[in-house]
Structure 1
Amino acid sequence: MDTERAATQDIRPMEVGILNLMPNKMETEEQFLRLLSNTPLQVNIDLIRIDNQAPKNTPAAHMDNFYVEFDDVANKKYDGLIVTGAPLAHLAYQDVKYWEKMTLIMDWARRHVQSTLFSCWAAHAAIYHFFGKNRQIRDHKLSGVYRHFVQNEHDELLRGFDPAFYAPQSRYGEISLADYASIPELNVLAKSDEGGAYIVASEDKRLVFVTGHPEYDPDSLKQEYQRDLSTNGQPQIPVNYFVDNDPNKDPMVNWRAHGSLLFTNWLNYYVYQNTPYDLDQLSE
């Protein structure tokens, strides 16, 4: 930001929504709130639920006290919106019970939000909805902490990133790099050899797709691995995660700095420095 703009800017709190699609709402909201709090900007958060169905693993009292239904904020405009992943890996999009509502919200976000960040399942769902590119289902789950490489060091979303950095992945779905390259308005900003595209953004900065989980806690992959052990018996050990690749040892945590930087950059460069002071002036 240049000196003249800095001296004359109007400042107000950022309005950010989190559409939480995960069954364990409390764990997920804490992970994203931690990342959003690492900024000098004042941020007002709305925790949003897609419907009034009782979620798994989250007390009804918590939902009643801290969440609003989407219909209650449908007339509001936001500086930023985060749409979390969801455990829907093997369902066709049209078989998701709230797919119709999901498409409505994605279209709504194009009119009501300056920049929307889609995470994991939601990232692939949005690519499918907006650009018609469907994911493929991998034979084995991509699970672990992978080395990723910056593809565009000059993009503000990656400002301060090391050329190579680590981030957790936990997904079956994958969209090929060729499919991303076929969409002129999208740029692949970071990728890995094993998992392909990791961070993708539109030219106008209003759509961001993150296929991994920079928000994960140190033991998130461990909990998923233990859950998979109890349900299907022989899951693959998360790659580059446990010390000596031994699930009886502690996880190695080497992704949190870049995860924090990613969200700080998103709030600053993609949201704050582009959003209108009067959100009613937000254009489609």
Structure 2
Amino acid sequence: MPVKIPDNLPAIELLKEENIFVMSDLVASAQDIRPLRVLILNLMPLKISTETDFVRLLSNNPLQVEVDFLRLETHTPKNTSPEHLEAFYKGFGEVKGDYYDGMIITGAPVEMMKFEDVSYWPEVSSIFDWARTHVTSTLYICWASQAALYHFYAVEKIPLEDKLFGVFKHTANNKKHPLFRGFDDEFFIPHSRHTTIRSSDLSNLDGVNILSESETAGVAIVTSRGGREFYLTGHSEYAPFTLHEEYSRDKEKGLPIAVPENYYPEDDSTKTPVVRWTSHANLLFNNWLNYYVYQATTYDRNDIKDLGDIKFKE
């Protein structure tokens, strides 16, 4: 099913080249189908690439999805034009009275800073709180996963000696969990981060469950409140060449960076990377949309005033 995104968003042409059908506002308004409403708070510096990554995943399912992009009102990105933000993004003040079926909050290039030292921490914290009463299920990605776990449960992030960078093997702690329907016994997720969270800091938290771990990458997927929130420490949404672009960029800047693990054949950066995570990424997002967004939104949205009391069966 196509995904509905704002007209003229740059991602449209990029996705059309991949034979992914996206729907304009005009076509969508002519269809008598209630789409799932998904809000994406995009904190990544390269916003167009991130928009494309998530729209690609949301479009690869049989459900119709309507996407809104959210920007911060207390922070001005350096790598995205004001015209792009004005045309395709909404401020928090424009959406805080609305309700969404799903929400995605991305990573951000501030992981080495204390959370309270991030200039937009008060605003992003208020968005975390708002999502608990206005969104059915929220995905927190990379930095956002650590930030939300800190905000809600006081879980501290731990600096790593070396950057965790590459594509790593994972397993599900409970293969019968709906999020892992159709998954193989082992699956891969890209990671690109300097910090981690300890499983021991999560194990005694009420309502918090670790769903997936990796011997190398550590805690990978966490859930809380029975599926109202998911915390993904990696980047399942990454396109095939994203790690390559990060590696090349850091090398050009003279920054200390190792070759991403399990990515290039024979660790040779002149060779085409081996992509081994996209099928499970599609399953992950499809299962989230189906079991934790769509199947939980069969109520009449006009009758809902607060989504905070919705509960899922594990």
By the TM > 0.5 criterion, same fold? Answer: yes
Among 13, 22, 27, the alignment partner of 2:44 is 22
Instruction: Determine the C-alpha separation between the residues in 1 that align with 2:267 and 2:85.
Output: 38
- Which residue of 1 is the match for residue 227 of structure 2? 205
| Amino acid of the structure 1 residue aligned with 2:35 | P
Q: Percent identity?
A: 46
Instruction: Determine the C-alpha separation between the residues in 2 that align with 1:233 and 1:179.
Output: 31
- Which residue of 2 is the match for residue 214 of structure 1? 236
Query: Is 2:169 the counterpart of 1:147?
Result: yes
- Which residue of 2 is the match for residue 269 of structure 1? 291
Aligned-residue offset at 1:193? 0.4
Query: Is 2:200 the counterpart of 1:174?
Result: no
Aligned-residue offset at 1:52? 6.2
More RCO (CA 8 Å, sep 6+): 1
Aligned-residue offset at 1:234? 3.1
Distance 1:115 1:246, change over 3 A: same
Instruction: Determine the C-alpha separation between the residues in 1 that align with 2:145 and 2:35.
Output: 26
Give 3-state SS (helix, strand or coil) of 1:81's partner. Answer: strand
Query: Is 2:252 the counterpart of 1:230?
Result: yes
Instruction: Determine the C-alpha separation between the residues in 2 that align with 1:61 and 1:147.
Output: 40
Give 3-state SS (helix, strand or coil) of 1:79's partner. Answer: strand
Instruction: Determine the C-alpha separation between the residues in 2 that align with 1:165 and 1:111.
Output: 33
Instruction: Determine the C-alpha separation between the residues in 1 that align with 2:298 and 2:119.
Output: 35
Distance 1:176 1:41, change over 3 A: same
Whether the 8 Å CA contact 2:74–2:120 is kept in 1: the answer is no
Aligned-residue offset at 1:189? 1.2
Whether the 8 Å CA contact 1:93–1:125 is kept in 2: the answer is yes
Q: Deviation string for 1:219-240 (max 9, x for gaps)?
A: 1001111121123443111000
Aligned-residue offset at 1:64? 1.4
Whether the 8 Å CA contact 1:187–1:203 is kept in 2: the answer is no
Give 3-state SS (helix, strand or coil) of 1:33's partner. Answer: helix
Aligned-residue offset at 1:186? 1.4
Instruction: Determine the C-alpha separation between the residues in 1 that align with 2:93 and 2:170.
Output: 38
Q: TM-score normalised to the size of structure 1?
A: 0.93
- Structure 2, unpaired ranges of 5+: 1-32, 309-314
Query: Is 2:269 the counterpart of 1:278?
Result: no
After alignment, is 138-147 or 176-185 more displaced?
176-185
After alignment, is 159-168 or 232-241 more displaced?
232-241
- Structure 1, unpaired ranges of 5+: 1-10
After alignment, is 200-209 or 160-169 more displaced?
200-209
Distance 1:63 1:28, change over 3 A: same
**1:35-50 aligned within 5 A:** 35-50=57-72
Aligned-residue offset at 1:131? 0.4
Among 242, 255, 272, the alignment partner of 2:277 is 255
Aligned-residue offset at 1:54? 3.5
Instruction: Determine the C-alpha separation between the residues in 2 that align with 1:234 and 1:211.
Output: 22
Query: Is 2:85 the counterpart of 1:63?
Result: yes
| Amino acid of the structure 2 residue aligned with 1:110 | R
Instruction: Determine the C-alpha separation between the residues in 2 that align with 1:186 and 1:234.
Output: 35
Instruction: Determine the C-alpha separation between the residues in 2 that align with 1:205 and 1:180.
Output: 16
Among 66, 69, 77, the alignment partner of 2:99 is 77
Q: How many residues align?
A: 275
Whether the 8 Å CA contact 2:37–2:100 is kept in 1: the answer is yes
Whether the 8 Å CA contact 2:44–2:50 is kept in 1: the answer is yes
Whether the 8 Å CA contact 1:24–1:56 is kept in 2: the answer is no
Whether the 8 Å CA contact 1:20–1:49 is kept in 2: the answer is yes
Q: Deviation string for 1:186-216 (max 9, x for gaps)?
A: 1111110011111111242100000000100
Give 3-state SS (helix, strand or coil) of 1:62's partner. Answer: helix
